[in-house]
Amino acid sequence: MLACGIVSPYIVSTRISSGVKMKLQVAKWGNSLAIRLPVECLRAAGLKEGDEVEAEVTPAGEIRLTVAQSIDKKAFLERVARLRAGLPMTTATVEAMRRDDRY
């Protein structure tokens, strides 16, 4: 995990897991603001271009970036199918509402 703390409105302090700390600058990127991460940060976190990260702002005002968990779509759909197979077959709620003119 990369831990970042806001030093000023436009400077972000970053500590890599190895204990190295550096200051990064917030810069304009199109209509947004962005922080460029040095290659050392990316390597330490195991990130490459196109990877997704989740950003969390803590109550202390720190910004934490973590690698987003990818979902195995095939395994997810198989699990849903197994769970659904165990459910009783009943009339669909929407069909019942349409039949009863309750929509």
Q: Is 33 exposed, middle or buried (0-12, 13-18, 19+ CB in 10 A)?
A: exposed
Using a cut of 0.75, tell me whether the model's pTM lies above it: no
Decide if 9 is inside a domain: yes
Q: Considering the domain boundaries, does residue 47 fall inside one?
A: yes
Q: Please check whether residue 66 is in contact with residue 53, taking contact to mean a CB–CB distance below 8 angstroms.
A: yes
The answer to whether position 48 is within a domain reads: yes
Which of 28-37, 51-60, 84-93 is least confident? 84-93
DSSP state of 86: T
- Domain assignment of residue 77, yes or no: no
**Beta bridge partner(s), residue 3:** 15, 64
Counted domains in the chain: 1
The boundaries of the domain holding residue 19 are 2-67
Residue 92 counted as domain residue: no
Summary mean pLDDT of the chain: 77
User: What residue type is assigned to position 78 of the chain?
Assistant: E
CATH code (residue 26): 2.10.260
Strand pairing report for 11-15 and 62-67: unpaired
Overall average pLDDT of the 74-89 stretch: 86
